[in-house]
Amino acid sequence: MKVIETKPYSWIPTLYVGEALPFTAVMLISVIMYKEFGLTDGEITLYTGWLGMPWVIKPLWSPLVDNMKTKRWWIVTMQFLMGAALAMVAFTLPTAFWLQASLALFMIIAFASATHDISADGFYILGLAEKDQELYVGVRNTFYRIGMVIGQGGLVMFAGALQNGFFGERFTTSGVSWMIVFVSLGIIMGLLSLYHAKMLPCVECGVVNDTFKLGVQMKEFINTLRVFVTKPHLLTALAFILLFRLPEGLLTKIVPLFLTRSRAEGGLELSNVDFGFISGTLGVIGLLAGGIVGGWAVSRWGLKKCLWILVLFFTLPDLVYVYLSTFVPDNLIVVGTCLCFEQFGYGLGFAAYTLYLVTFSRGERSTAVFSICTAGQYLGGVMLPGMVSGLISESIGYRQFFLLIIVLCSVTFAVTALVRIETQDKS
């Protein structure tokens, strides 16, 4: 397919929508689907928790992406692969081995998505001048969130509409509705692959060394580890990177289950339509607004001065889940407001956390060090807590689980008190 000269606004929005959709499918949509297929909270969080592994270990094969083919080739190929795998998920659901097959396909999608992340972020840097990188960073982040809205909002609502008979009685069963959702996702990713095959500029064409030398890359990785382990205040930094997000890591997979489980099971019994709207729309708006305000505050007053305020906003809004699990309101406005407020606080705190990772990574091999930091934060703040969260909630119940989360916020406070921030604050 002939590549045409394009402007950044013709490919940045679609590139980052294409980055968000597979991640959302693997890490959230699968949770809702498996709940409807009868799995327990413990089974869901354990199985889907393992699916986060590729995002933890992706620094191991990032040199391959950097040195084989082009970032453009990796983007187009991975999008096509994810589109095919997402469509194949749909055809496993009516089978007797649906769980094993769908989990295997989700793992393939997860590896492809992590590889796509590496290539897309690299392409963004290569394809834009430095001033344009700053100009389009807001567009990039906004369309990633739009991809999240489409996935955890629009597609979950679409599944709910199918189940409610909006498109006819033959689509009302859970199996058929989720088959249609995943076929739709596959088509979207396939179309994005075709679009980017034509619209992504050839920024590396003719200049890339298409060879991969394992010995050289191992040496590079070891040198990066050397730089990482010789960073000042390494132990407190590791504690902060691994444990800061512990309460949120436990919450991430349980909140969708709590919101959609029946009242007899201790949940709020939201329909997929209501959940998709509240979580995928109001929640994402709150998260995006929190990130913007948090970034502005740090740029205005500096990370040191803002850190504790942002940490309080990161942790204290978790109290909304104690309220919701205690009083079990059936008013969607109340539930939506609580979720939006909690996600706004999460966005504020996560902005500070991300900026700390950037600050810690500055210096020699900053990009590679940052990738190790992000892998560590995903391991300690998402994957491992998420895997055990369902087992905990099953043993003690949702209300006690959310009370435990409030207690564990003390871990976030402790690692924040210990961390050293080497940065020059704004005056």
pLDDT reported for residue 134: 62
Tokens of 52: 């986060």
pLDDT computed for residue 403 by the predictor: 97
Q: If phi over 0 gives left and psi between -120 and 50 gives alpha, with beta otherwise, what is residue 328?
A: left
Residue ranges of alpha helices (H) inside 230-271 are: 234-243, 246-260
Q: How far is CA 243 from CA 235, 381, 412, 416, in A?
A: 12, 6, 7, 10
For the cut 80, the answer to whether the pLDDT of residue 265 exceeds it is: yes
Token pair, residue 351, equals 């902005």
pLDDT band at 5 (very low <50, low <70, confident <90, very high): low
DSSP result, 139-150? HHHHHHHHHHII
Tokens of 25: 């499918």
CATH class of the 213-427 domain in this structure: mainly alpha
CB 59 within 8 A of CB 375: yes
Task: Pick the more confident residue, 384 or 61.
Answer: 384
Q: How many C-beta atoms surround the C-beta of residue 416 within 10 A?
A: 24
The mean pLDDT of the chain is 88
Tens of pLDDT, residue by residue over 182-223, are 999 999 999 999 999 998 988 776 555 556 666 777 787 788
Instruction: Answer for the pair 355, 279: CB distance below 8 angstroms, yes or no.
Output: no
Task: Go through 298-318 and write b for each residue having 16 or more CB atoms within 10 A of its CB, e for each that does not.
Answer: beeebbeebbeebbbbbbebb
Cβ neighbours of residue 291 closer than 8 Å, sequence gap 6 or more: 141, 347, 348, 350, 351
Query: How far is CA 370 from each of CA 44, 293, 310, 374, 420, rounded to the nearest angstrom?
Result: 30, 23, 22, 6, 17
**pLDDT value at 2 more than 70:** no
pLDDT digits (tens, 9 = 90+) for 329-357: 999 999 999 999 999 999 888 888 888 88
Domain locations along the chain: 1-201, 213-427
With a cut of 90, say whether residue 135 has pLDDT above it.
no
Please give the C-alpha separations between residue 163 and each of 40, 116, 168, in angstroms, as whole numbers.
21, 32, 9
One fold for both 1-201 and 213-427? Answer: yes
User: What distances in angstroms separate CA 52 from CA 145, 228, 271, one per listed residue?
Assistant: 19, 23, 26
Tens of pLDDT, residue by residue over 374-426, are 888 889 988 999 999 999 999 999 999 999 999 999 999 999 999 887 654 44
Q: Which two tokens stand for residue 183?
A: 């076929």
The correct answer on CATH 3.40.50.2000 for the domain covering 1-201 is no
Residue-level pLDDT at 4: 56
Side-chain half-sphere CA neighbours of 411 within 13 A:
19
Q: What single-letter amino acid sits at 76?
A: V
